Structure 1
Amino acid sequence: RDLAKKDRNGASDPFVRVRYNGKTQESTVVKKSCYPRWNESFEFELPEPAGEKLCVEVWDWDLVSKNDFLGKVVFGVQGLRAAGRQEGWFRLQPHSSKPREDGRRGSLGSLQLQLRLRDETVLPSHCYQPLVQLLCQEVKSGRQDGRVHLVTLLDETTTAECRQEVAVNLVKLFLGQGLVKEFLDLLFELELAKPCEPNTLFRSNSLASKSMESFLKVTGMQYLHAVLGPIITRVFEEKKYVELDPSKVEIKDVGCSGLHRVQTESEVMEQGRQHLQSYLGELLDTISKSASTCPPVIRAAFRQLFQRVGERFPEHQHAKFVAVTSFLCLRFFSPAIMTPKLFHLRDAHADARTSRTLLLLAKAIQMVGNMEPAAGRAKEAWLAPLQPALQQGASQMKAFITRLVGTEEEEDGGEGRLRS
């Protein structure tokens, strides 16, 4: 908060750079803000002995000139080891090479951080065998009415903070045991046995939601890269200006041979709509053609989900499609589009303009995945010009899901029919 203003517009384009033990990680860029919000996390392995300091720096991103240093916070790892956890607002300090110059400018602002040291003890594999056998037996036995299931206890006793980690470990465990389909199917059953509405299925951070999300990341990264890679590369290379929100539109000069005029707001937005619609169309075409290349284990998991939701809500036929897209679009495609570096689609974070384009494209895919684009438009009326493309996209997505969850016989090239 209250970061230094480095740009002519009276703000900055801040991002965070975290350094430890010769390794560096960076956050996304927040455009035009001295009060940015990131909500991002970074992990570093702690060597022995852990004597080096952890440095958290804030920089102002610039497209043409050199990035400007805004301040830093330095933590002693030994102190963190003693405390186990540190959190709060930390005042940014000037660069060590020119403290007087930065000091004369007054406060450099503050950064809200949470640091946690996690000490993991890994025992020999045979120590975990009783637990592994118990979990496998629970999954094989399936859901039984009137019985408290171990998986349910795991869901209820894990905190939201650690549920993601629990889900990742369980997914990897059952993949290794050849029981991941049974594990996910059990989670679907247990989740659907709770009181729920068809339009809010799997939108919470339950163990079922986190496990399916982790499953996609563990088994589907190659598929994700094949689907999103080309369009992400195109957006990064073209660097088109895309904006549909009137409150964020930047007017610019156009023309040639010395004859310039200022573009109108409507011209800029129409141009942005055309660019975004082109990106969305290409992405949806790629998704539509990708059913056969999706890993069989993912198709099988979605087939189970599709069938379970169809049985739970027979009067709401759209619910089973939305259940699939709630994971595929909202928890897999969309986050990867917004932050391609975190999904290893790019080596570096996007600049502010490209980041905005990716955000709008991710939002469009989310609305397509909701299968009811008009509902999303009600919240953000400026997306109305994109409505025809979103409606067409919803139809494409529904047809794609139908192919994706085809029966095993169809998957193997047989004559089986879709179970719906």
Structure 2
Amino acid sequence: DAKHLVPNKMRDFFCTINLDQEEVFRTQVVEKSLSPYFGEEFYFEIPRTFQWLSFYIYDKSVLQKDLRIGKVSIKKEDLCNYTGKENWFMLQPVDSNSEVQGKVHLELKLNELITDNGSVCQQLVVHIKECHGLPLINGQNCDPYATVSLVGPSRNDQKKTKVKKKTSNPQFNETFYFEVTRSSSYTKKSQFQVEEEDIEKLEVRVDLWNNGNLVQDVFLGEIKVPVKVLRNDSFQAWYLLQPRENGNKSSKTDDLGSLRLNICYTEDCVLPSEYYASLRNLLLKSPDVQPISASAAYILSEVCRDKYDAVLPLVRLLLHHHKLVPFIAAVAELDLKDTQEANTIFRGNSLATRCVDEMMKIVGKHYLKVTLKSVIDEICESPKPCEIDPIKLREGDNVEVNMENLRYYVDKVFREIVQSSISCPTLMCDVFYSLRHLAAKRFPS
């Protein structure tokens, strides 16, 4: 959820999750609020490298482009500091300088040349090869170009690459030449040396830009390399693009509001899929193994320190291969054999109940929202007192009125649930039919 968002009037907000500049998830729009509660959970696997995990708050517009209010960006290296707990983050302003990402591949070299009149010239060769992972502009690949400059106290020589169309990974492969020093006369002392005072103050600067055509070009990032580190050696490397040095030194920004997040980030070494083929096949055979406690899926859940570590990927695997219903039925039947009282059916934290729980989160979340959202909204927007505990009643409370309010809400929720049977996901219906059949068999009365 978020709070105290600007502008300070009721607006319609939504939030996006981005890996670098790629949007991977978008919440529903929360209407007419300054402190929207999203309450959405998003689970995803990351198939590629990334630098930043970002959350953007948007003001939804019907006729114009949606307005970005602010963002929260967390470096990949810092995610471990926030994992597994709720944190409030202040929203930061969104501008081109704050959106810098990607890297550039450069080869730099100093050559010594002797001119026609015998003087020595140091020549700097800058070969800009390619860039990788440049940000998206308005959700689309950018039209990048680079400017290459040799900058010093009294010079700013600049050259420019060609514009590459619609790509975040442009291949420039262009070479630029700059004269670094020129001595007044050719001497033995200066033949293979660069004047130190010039070298100390010179630097190569590469700026990346998005070509705006009819609008202003957008800054994508820059890198700076001191010429003194080159000497007479060739130097080739990937450089991470950086914001402008004064990019975050502007006057104090307005309070844009804050966003509460609960992030859980884990990083595993995953081998190619063929390494897991044998295990996958064993897991998919689990519903047919007798007894079920000897199956690979059951054993896997027992050996994992936390059942959740095994249950979630197991449910996803069985669900994908249409094996989940028979597996839940098999482990539920094992649960029922150890159940002595009918009123304690499926009350424990067993493999069966955890599988059902994860299945409902994956399959039934949209159904739950569609079924109960209108009732919950009514309760939250105009809550009626429902306290009937004599100890907690306040002076002036009418327990009979509260009882009627509570009965009204309960009846409405129950009625919505009963009437929603036709929209209940088929998989959930199949699982619950199977569980009811097993329970009736175990406790016929």
TM-score of Structure 1 vs Structure 2, range by shorter chain: 0.3 to 0.5
Q: Which one has a larger percent helix, Structure 1 or Structure 2?
A: 1
TM-score (normalised: structure 2): 0.42
**If each structure's strand is expressed as a fraction of its own residues, which one has the higher value?**
2
Output the TM-score relative to the length of structure 1. Answer: 0.44
